[in-house]
């Protein structure tokens, strides 16, 4: 699979406070990446930087094999972006806002716009300011989808939606990604959304992508080991993120179980339980470590 986004040594700071430092990341075509991070970790900054909405301090970003700051029009046509906050023109009715946005694109699907407007029952006569936050966010999503992008970037796409709206949107995104082989990157801190949609999970912490892997592999690999009757330090356990000793037992979270080490322990008579973890716990463990 070809690389859609490639980031090398990205640095970005605000008021001399570093937000992203030496960040490296590569996203392949067709990936549906959920970007997880704590509040203020820099998720929005990363997404805005790779789109050249925010200028970067250092590093290199390429999107569709072109430098992000000098993307060709054809590459720009392939990008759809939904911002976290609705800063669209408040006084325009939805129908006029769509016409306004259409002015910026060469390819635009009116069918797709009408399909989603009907599906989400959005009153196009209403002005943006008259819509509920959820409806306004749906309009922003329609605007992003209307140009038939190959790369969709969502900054907290479902934050203003109710549970039904969120489920609906996520289902739609999965269908889109599967049918049209588009790449999706979405930032979120709702891990259940990520579990429903993403094929890969990226965790942003301390200015870097500290974890990036397939979601299924992540849930398979990142597990908690409970070693009964053993007191082991973190250094003694391969791939350990964190370990706690409670009584005679050791509780340890590992990013991947070392099967050889596990076999050795079993041969020594150590009883080890392997407990799978939810994505939320995995995220907390990785960022805490």
Partner 1 sequence: MKNILTYGWYARIFIIVLWFASLWFRTILDFEQKQALLVALIGLSNLTLYLIVAMRLPLLTHSQSSAVLPGFSSQLKTELLQILGISLLPTLLLLPNFWMWLGLISIMLACAMLMAAMIYLPKYQIIFFAIMLLPISFESLSIVVTFDQVMSFFVYIFPAIAVCTWWLLDKLVVYRKPSKHIAKMMLMVNASLDRTLAAQDHIPPESQNIFMRWWGNLNFGHERKIISAADEFQQRLSMRKLIAIGCHSSASFSRYSYITWSLATILVCSVALTLDQSHYAAFIPLISIVPAIIIGTASITLFQMVNSKSSYLARLSILPRFNDKQSFAKAFIKYILFNQGAIIVFIAMLVAITILTFEHLSWGIYFKVCLLAIALCLINSALMFFCWSNKSTGFQKYIFIIVFNFILFMLLILEMTHNGIDSAISLSSIFTVMLVCASLCVYTIRRYLHRFTVTV
Q: Which of 130, 216, 220, 264 binds partner 1 (CB under 8 A)?
A: 130
Q: 54 or 168, CB closer to partner 1?
A: 54
Q: Is 271 left (phi over 0), alpha (psi -120 to 50) or beta?
A: beta
> Using CA atoms, how far apart are residues 81 and 101, in angstroms rounded to an integer?
13
HEC string of 108-142 equals CCHHHHHHHHHHCCCCCCCEHHHCCHHHHHHHHHH
Contact 73, 241 (CB under 8 A): no
Among 24, 28, 29, 105, binds partner 1 (CB under 8 A): 105
Nearest distance in Å: CB 52, partner 1: 6
Find out whether 35 and 185 touch, Cβ atoms under 8 Å. Answer: yes
9 near partner 1, judged by CB under 8 A? no
Phi, psi of 49 (to 5 degrees): -65, -45
CA–CA dist 18, 5 (Å, integer): 22
Show the DSSP H helices in 27-132 as ranges.
43-50, 73-77, 94-102, 110-119
Report the residue from 129, 178, 274, 288 that binds partner 1 according to the rule CB under 8 A.
129
What is the closest distance, in whole angstroms, from the C-beta atom of residue 97 to partner 1 in the complex? 9
Interaction of residue 235 with partner 1, rule CB under 8 A: no
Q: Which residues pair with 13 in a beta bridge?
A: 18
Our finding on whether 258 is near partner 1 (CB under 8 A) is no
Kindly state whether residue 56 participates in binding partner 1, applying the rule CB under 8 A.
yes
Does 288 bind partner 1 (CB under 8 A)? Our answer is no
Strands ordered across the beta sheet of 208-214: 79-82, 151-155, 183-188, 32-37, 200-205, 208-214
**Pick from 34, 37, 83, 157: which binds partner 1 (CB under 8 A)?**
83
- Contact stretch for partner 1 (CB under 8 A) within 31-39, 69-77, 223-231, 277-285: 69-77
Taking CB under 8 A as the criterion, the residue among 2, 39, 87, 235 binding partner 1 is 87
43 vs 76 by CB, closer to partner 1: 76
Q: Does 127 bind partner 1 (CB under 8 A)?
A: yes
Binding site for partner 1 (CB under 8 A): 51-59, 67, 69-71, 73-74, 76-77, 79, 81, 83, 85, 87-93, 96, 99-100, 102-106, 127, 129-130, 147
């Amino acid at each position: 699979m070809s690389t859609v986004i490639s980031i090398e040594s990205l640095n970005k700071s605000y008021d001399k406070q570093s937000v992203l430092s030496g960040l490296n990341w590569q996203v392949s075509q067709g990936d549906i990446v959920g970007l997880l991070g704590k509040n203020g970790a820099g998720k929005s900054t990363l997404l805005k930087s790779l789109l050249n909405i925010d200028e970067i301090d250092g590093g290199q970003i390429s999107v569709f094999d072109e430098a992000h700051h000098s993307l060709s029009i054809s590459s720009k046509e392939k990008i759809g972006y939904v911002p976290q906050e609705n800063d669209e023109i408040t006084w325009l009715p939805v129908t006029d806002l769509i016409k306004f946005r259409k002015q910026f694109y060469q390819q635009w699907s009116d069918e797709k716009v009408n399909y989603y407007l009907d599906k989400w029952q959005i009153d196009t006569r209403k002005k943006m300011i008259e819509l509920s936050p959820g409806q306004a966010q749906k309009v922003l999503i329609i605007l992003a989808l209307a140009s038939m992008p190959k790369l969709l970037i969502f900054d907290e796409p479902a934050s203003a939606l109710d549970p039904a709206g969120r489920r609906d949107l996520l289902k739609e995104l999965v269908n889109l990604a599967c049918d049209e082989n588009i790449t999706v990157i979405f930032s979120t801190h709702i891990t259940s959304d990520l579990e429903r949609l993403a094929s890969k999970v990226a965790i942003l912490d301390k200015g870097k992508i500290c974890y990036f892997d397939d979601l299924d592999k992540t849930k398979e690999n990142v597990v908690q080991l409970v070693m009964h009757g053993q007191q082991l330090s973190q250094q003694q356990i391969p791939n350990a993120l964190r370990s706690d000793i409670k009584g005679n037992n050791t509780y340890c979270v590992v990013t991947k179980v070392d099967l050889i080490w596990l076999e050795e322990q079993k041969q020594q008579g150590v009883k080890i339980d392997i407990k799978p973890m939810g994505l939320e716990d995995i995220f907390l463990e990785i960022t805490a470590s």
